[in-house]
Amino acid sequence: MKKIAAALILALFCTNFIITPAFAILEKKDIKQAKQQASVLDGINFDKWKKKNDQYLEGYIVKALENNTDIKTAALKIEEAKLNVTLLRADSLPTISVGANPALAKVPDSTKTRGSFMVPIMASWELDLFGKNRDKTKAGKKMFESAKYDAQASNISIISYVASAYYNIVCLDKMVEIQEQLVKDRKEIHRLKKLSNEQGLTSMSDLILTEKSYILAQNDLIQYQKTRQNALNALAVLIGDSANNSNEYKRISYDKLSQSFNIPNEISSEIIVNRPDYKSVERQLEASGLNVRAAKKEFLPTFNILGILGFLATSAKSTMSFENAIALLGGGAQLPIFTGFKRVANVKLNKNKYEQLLQHYQKVNLTAIQEINDSLYNFKFDNEKLLNNKIAYDIQNKDFSITKGKYNTGTISKLDLLQQQENLYYVEKLAVQAKIDCFTDEINLYKTTGAKI
């Protein structure tokens, strides 16, 4: 009975264990390194933004890189790709398992039961003679590199969105400021027209027109304020903050923005092949080619080495002894003859994926050229438009100064002065929008060149 009880206890508490080689385990420090490889400063040319001498913009960029959910997701994808490499590498390594197998047996013509206890230790290893598993591991490493480039591209995109939102807000601050002055002037014009109408100097039609202009100016002001609030909320999402705090965001004054832009005459084709999205697809294409090669090697035989060491005894106490040992060492080769065309389909499937990636690779190349050309030409044209608007504003400002002089000498009325000032506000808004367009073009050029410019 003692033997039976001992056997039952062993049956309840003994389990099998799988021992994995230590160098196949992904340590925490490796995960930390994977996250560091998605560093917020990796390949984003942060010095470009420091040269802007705008501490507010720098702060928002840093917050976005630390808190943006898309960037965090990209970092997790890097970790996932590294874990996948570890899984693929483990397939090339031997596996060792240990078990504990208690048993009770009764033979015919006997009323007694006999207990036994076995401790098997098994090791198996598939010899990668043709490099199939090695190709799969290399493909996993290529995908890991692709994930890193995707993270870099994500960082650059988020920075571009943050900078664009920020400069749009600065622009809208100025637009709101100009529009508030315009509303104030149109209110005054309406008041003067109303006085003139009461004195019979202005028709009711003119009075209605001035009132209409005043209301429309108020609506434009509301639209500018609405657009600015939406831009602030968008900035909040980009930096991982609540939109409830958006009204507290500080920014530089529009008047302190740079007045000139450094526009390159041409862009080297080398920049295209160094774009992170281009490199990412390139690595995916290389990985796909390795997967095709590994799929073809599925048609080759596999070679395995198997080793078994076991101890069989009638009691747990006498199990681990040389007399009770059972050992086996052997090997074998296996070649599947028919698998329902599974291997053929697998090769065709991987070739199909390779062809799809090849087409995508060519599209990325063409798209990169288009995006860079568009950004460069838009930058040049908008800068030319900005220079023309500056000239127009200077001319309008001189004209207004002359009109102001006439008003001071009593040659014209205040109504004429205010109407002339409206023209100045209109030209100034055009200049403000043109300047922000140039900032947007500069950001797009930064993005399309992979942060190289």
Q: Write out the two tokens for 308.
A: 């078994």
DSSP 8-state symbol, 324: G
Does a structural domain hold residue 75?
no
Q: What is the pLDDT of residue 8?
A: 35
Q: Are residues 135 and 267 in the same domain?
A: yes
Containing domain of residue 11, as a range? 1-37+97-127+304-334
Q: Are residues 368 and 252 in the same domain?
A: yes
| Number of structural domains in the chain | 2
Q: Are residues 269 and 225 in the same domain?
A: yes
Q: Are residues 176 and 316 in the same domain?
A: no
Q: Are residues 327 and 370 in the same domain?
A: no
- What does the pLDDT average to over 74-80? 92
Secondary structure string (H, E, C) spanning 70-90? HHHHHHHHHHHHHHHHHHHHH
Does a structural domain hold residue 88?
no
- What does the pLDDT average to over 396-400? 92
CA–CA separation, 256 vs 233, rounded Å? Answer: 24
pLDDT per residue as tens digits for the range 194-220: 888 888 877 888 888 889 999 999 999
Q: Write out the two tokens for 135.
A: 């190709």
Task: Give the CATH number of the domain where residue 312 resides.
Answer: 2.20.200
Q: What is the pLDDT of residue 276?
A: 93
- What does the pLDDT average to over 31-60? 75
pLDDT over 70, % of the chain = 88
> Across the chain, what does the average pLDDT equal?
85
Give 329's pLDDT tier (boundaries 50, 70, 90).
Answer: confident
Q: Are residues 259 and 371 in the same domain?
A: yes
Is the per-residue pLDDT at 38 higher than 60? no
Do 324 and 312 form a contact (C-beta atoms < 8 A)?
yes
Is the per-residue pLDDT at 266 higher than 90? no
Does a structural domain hold residue 123?
yes
Bigger pLDDT: 103 vs 274: 274
Q: Are residues 214 and 109 in the same domain?
A: no
Is the per-residue pLDDT at 99 higher than 50? yes
Does a structural domain hold residue 239?
yes
Bigger pLDDT: 103 vs 16: 103
Q: Are residues 315 and 387 in the same domain?
A: no
How many CB atoms neighbour CB 391 within 10 A? 11
Does a structural domain hold residue 310?
yes
Q: Are residues 134 and 6 in the same domain?
A: no
Q: Are residues 256 and 374 in the same domain?
A: yes
- What does the pLDDT average to over 141-167? 94
Question: What is the pTM assigned to this prediction?
Answer: 0.81
Q: Are residues 441 and 376 in the same domain?
A: yes
Is the per-residue pLDDT at 316 higher than 60? no
CA 300 to chain centre: 40
Total count of residues recorded for the chain: 453
Q: Are residues 174 and 278 in the same domain?
A: yes
